[in-house]
Chains A and B, each alone.
Chain A
Amino acid sequence: MDWLTPEEWGILLLSLKVSGVAIVVTLPVAFALAWVLARWRFPGKVLVDALVHLPLVLPPVVTGWLLLLAFGTNAPLGRFLDDYLGLTFLFRWTGAALAAAVMALPLMVRAIRLSLEAVDRRLESAARTLGAGRIRTFASITLPLASSGILAALVLGLARSIGEFGATITFASNIPGETRTLPLAIYGALQIPGSELQVVRLAVLSVLLSVGALVLSEWLARRSGGRLRHVL
């Protein structure tokens, strides 16, 4: 595979690492939020709903700036995480992952929430009368019936996080080997005369990644026996 330079391989691997970590960390959070929004009724729910959706409607640059305010070295939250968990975000790949996670969150919550709301709760009560407790009912009825939404959330989240640009460059900057993911590298290459071919290669890579994620999800959906025919 010599159609990519070692530098470009590095960019690809960094992109996959950043997005992979972002999605894996976000999935349980997104599921919990989707569950709360789909099943609970409490005062202030509208506020939680709006807050979750904020990254979807704000300009990404603003989201990046808000992340700077929250997780910067002098921000209380950022200092706390640095002191107690040794987690720093600025100019690090973890910062790129955090930005990607925050941008992917609303899409993932939406997909999971829709599928949870579509689960027929009468089936859950039927499982209870057959002797299944809450946890078993969740694991054997609710979760399988919502699985298409969870798969959709993974695909949407992955696509969104691989394409993340504005919040990342604002919050984590454009550091080669740390935060220079595919979109940032393409943007960088566009600034340099004579690197048009690199732009083409990186753009083709982006297209392959996105189409690959879609094909993978369709394949998974088919493999499940037709019950998840359409993911998106």
Chain B
Amino acid sequence: MSFEIDVRLRRGATELSYAFETGNGLTALFGPSGAGKTSLLDAVAGLVRPVSGRIVVSGKPVFDRERRIDLRPEQRRCGYVFQDLRLFPHKSVRGNLEFGWKLAPQDQRWLAFETALEFLGIGHLLDRMPATLSGGEAQRVAIGRALLSGPRFLLMDEPLASVDTARRGEILTLIERVRDELSLPILYVSHDRAEVDRLASRIIPVEPAG
């Protein structure tokens, strides 16, 4: 099992609950905006504390209310590609890519720096500042930064949201390569049916909280 999730989250006045288990490959959380998909990714990353339940990734519990397990975000080793990218504005593309890479212990850097640059086609951007990148370039840098931190699993939140149509195909292909060649468990959030059908080995529908 890649992800074993059974949690309740509080978001404002409403409480959301999720319960599912996934196999290998890419699992898509599919549903309309505002259904709480991002909240769930934040909980898996350790940025939001669930009210109750447990989250297990690749057999390792990262949160378990009853057993009082709650790993800090930096201990969970997820590669989180945020919907709003969150590139560090005061660091160059190189500084962004190296941030997580330098923090990962050497035996856990399963992706070489040069390989990532080539894989993502961002080698020529290293000295640029994030503010000068196009949407597609920034998106690829964000994916690269997540992969280079040596993550055990990936969380991708609408990674095509800030990309123009011309670049979409390119990044979709890239995500397929990550899925097939790197064989990491991936939790993928989208509200676009075609995108989900193309990428996902399993689709979890997420309904808005009543």
Contacts and interface: CB of A to CB of B under 8 A. Distances in A.
Interface in A49-65: none
Given A125-B73, A130-B100, A130-B145, A145 B78 contact: no
B116 to A, nearest CB: 14
**Residue of A125, A130, A131, A141 most packed against chain B (CB within 10 A):** A130
A61 B72 CA distance: 51
Interface string B69-92: 000111011111010101011100
B86 A128 contact: no
Chain A: interface residue count, which band?
10 to 19
Contacts of B113: none
A129 B80 contact: yes
Given A122-B82, A122-B84, A141-B88, A129 B47 contact: yes
Contacts of B45: 125, 129
Contacts of A133: 72, 74
Interface string A117-131: 000101101111111
A129 B179 CA distance: 20
A201 interface: no
Interface string A136-166: 1000110011000000000000000000000
Given A122-B84, A126-B80, A131 B90 contact: no
Contacts of A126: 80, 82, 86, 88
A169 to B, nearest CB: 43
Nearest to B142: A126
B100 A123 contact: no
A229 interface: no
Nearest to B102: A131
Contacts of B72: 128, 133
B90 A145 contact: yes
Given A122-B82, A122-B84, A129 B90 contact: no
Contacts of A227: 89-90
Interface in A36-59: none
B120 interface: no
A131 B74 contact: yes
Given A128-B47, A130-B145, 6 more contacts: A125-B47, A125-B86, A126-B80, A128-B72, A129-B79, A133-B72
Interface of A: 120, 122-123, 125-133, 136, 140-141, 144-145, 227
